[in-house]
Amino acid sequence: MSWHSRGRAADDLAALDKELADEEDYLDISRHGIVEVVGDDSAGRKIIVVSACKLPPIGKETFNHAKLLRYLMHTLDMFVEQDYSLVYFHYGLTSKNKPSLSWLWQAYRAFDRKYKKNLKALYLVHPTSFIRFIWQLFKPAISAKFGRKMMYFNYLEELAQYINLDQLIIPPQVIEHNEQLLMKNKKNLPASPPQSAVVTPVGTTQFGASLQFIKENNNGDPIPPILRQCVEFLDTPDALETEGIFRRSANVTVIKELQSRCNQGLPIDFQGDPHIAAVLLKTFLRELDEPLMTYELYDEITQFQTLSKDERPRKVKILILEKLPEDNYQVLKYVVQFLSRVMDRCDLNKMTSSNLAVVFGPNLVRAPPARGMSLSAIGPINQFIDFLFTYQDKIFII
């Protein structure tokens, strides 16, 4: 494929450009930070965070709640084809910024089956009597299946047993409120998550380690053993043709057990399930001590959409071939070339370059810890990764 070839690849990029243009229409909503998309939870599901305290007071400024609903749906549209979780921080919803009951009902009805089907968990943090009142009000119209996805947490510490809080963008006022609750109700302090009694041998650690550390402890092989094992398991016709591969989540307990065994240098078994291997592969990339595309390259990647179509090939080649550390380059090449074989079977697995970009973008590119990932960065990151996947045969040196 030439750099200027037209056809499907060009159409995909044009569609991504349109998504970015559409996002611009929501700047007046997105600037409040009410909705944020962060990393994956322990089951490999994307996490969407909604913070009530960031809703502006009604009447103090012009705030379009109908547009907020469209923005929330616009955000979910990028992720509803894969399993996802929703975290709602209720603290900060007051009579001054509370949407009307008619808006809440409209919001529930707007989220049709395509939004509810792949929502695997809805975490409500710091619920009040208002939340319980709304639940009782809407309960007759809410399916029992959807109701089972809802979980209430009185403290952030309870949520921490399901999601790594470091991944979340938690408003300071929510943290302060949580501390006040803990001080007030010391007798109700939630138990800390149980800690493993197994001491991980340092030399065999892979999850959470650096590429350099893993290489030094594996005979100088730049490809981490667990990554190679996942790819080799998935690189078979049956696995490659699994519909929704990399979109589906896996059992949390199984994934954590496999991570623990891997870090102890013990053999692991994917139980013949491609989704387990796929989630473990994503988890490994997500938990690297620095993202594969490095923090240093984050700004250049998030500015990708500002480049002209003619500039993009040269800029991406410079970034990948010259600015990416050698070990990172070798691992990225290994992963992307494997994913190209996944894309070759997209007629069966439904995973096109753009679908894979949505899945892998946040696992390959992360904001520096002090900054956090903003929702506005998701589109440019996905567009960059889509370009990388689409033109991988022209970017990487064979």
From its phi and psi, is residue 189 left (phi > 0), alpha (psi between -120 and 50) or beta?
beta
pLDDT of residue 14: 44
| Residue entry with tokens 């992963």 | 335
Average pLDDT of the segment spanning 225-246: 95
| Residue entry with tokens 């991944």 | 167
As to burial, measured by CB atoms within 10 angstroms (0-12 exposed, 13-18 middle, 19+ buried), residue 222 is middle
Between residues 14 and 148, which one has the greater pLDDT?
148
Dihedral angle computed from the Cα positions of residues 341, 347, 348 and 353, in that order, rounded to the nearest 10 degrees: 50
Distances (CA, A) of 309 to 1, 114, 303, 381, 387: 15, 33, 13, 16, 11
Average pLDDT of the segment spanning 254-259: 92
> Would you place residue 265 in the very low, low, confident or very high pLDDT band (cuts 50, 70, 90)?
very high
Q: Evaluate if residue 12 carries a pLDDT over 60.
A: no
pLDDT of residue 36: 83
pLDDT of residue 336: 97
Between residues 313 and 78, which one has the greater pLDDT?
313
* Alpha-carbon span 133 to 139, nearest angstrom: 10
Q: Write down the pTM of the prediction.
A: 0.68
Q: Among 33-37, 187-191, 260-264, which is the least confidently predicted range?
A: 187-191
Other beta carbons within 10 angstroms of residue 128's beta carbon come to 12
Q: How many residues does the chain have?
A: 398
Pairing label, strands 46-51, 35-40: antiparallel
For the stretch 174-210, pLDDT in tens is 999 999 998 888 755 545 444 444 444 578 999 999 9
pLDDT of residue 76: 78
Residues facing residue 89 across a β-bridge: 51, 125
Q: Among 75-79, 126-130, 230-234, 264-268, which is the least confidently predicted range?
A: 75-79
pLDDT of residue 38: 75
Q: Evaluate if residue 83 carries a pLDDT over 90.
A: no
Structure tokens at 336: 């992307």
**pLDDT > 90: percent of the chain:** 46
pLDDT of residue 252: 82
pLDDT of residue 264: 92
Averaged confidence pLDDT in the chain: 83
Structure tokens at 173: 């006022």
Other beta carbons within 10 angstroms of residue 235's beta carbon come to 12
Residue whose C-alpha is closest to residue 78's, from 303, 350, 306, 379: 379
| Residue entry with tokens 């059992």 | 251
pLDDT of residue 397: 77
> Would you place residue 299 in the very low, low, confident or very high pLDDT band (cuts 50, 70, 90)?
very high
pLDDT of residue 194: 44
Q: Among 30-44, 66-80, 195-209, which is the least confidently predicted range?
A: 195-209
Between residues 122 and 387, which one has the greater pLDDT?
387
Residues facing residue 84 across a β-bridge: 46, 119
Average pLDDT of the segment spanning 92-100: 86
pLDDT of residue 142: 62
Residues facing residue 37 across a β-bridge: 48
Residues facing residue 40 across a β-bridge: 46
Other beta carbons within 10 angstroms of residue 121's beta carbon come to 20
pLDDT of residue 128: 87
Average pLDDT of the segment spanning 385-397: 93
Q: Evaluate if residue 97 carries a pLDDT over 50.
A: yes
42 contacts 386 by C-beta, under 8 angstroms: no
Strands of 167-284 (E only): list them: none
Encode 129-138: b = buried (16+ Cβ within 10 Å), e = exposed: eebeebeeee
pLDDT of residue 2: 37
* Alpha-carbon span 198 to 182, nearest angstrom: 30
* Alpha-carbon span 389 to 75, nearest angstrom: 23
pLDDT of residue 203: 85
> Would you place residue 46 in the very low, low, confident or very high pLDDT band (cuts 50, 70, 90)?
confident
pLDDT of residue 374: 66
Per DSSP, helices labelled H in 235-374 are: 237-240, 252-263, 274-287, 298-302, 312-318, 326-344, 346-349, 353-364
40 contacts 283 by C-beta, under 8 angstroms: yes
Structure tokens at 328: 């990172």
Q: Among 84-88, 296-300, 348-352, which is the least confidently predicted range?
A: 84-88
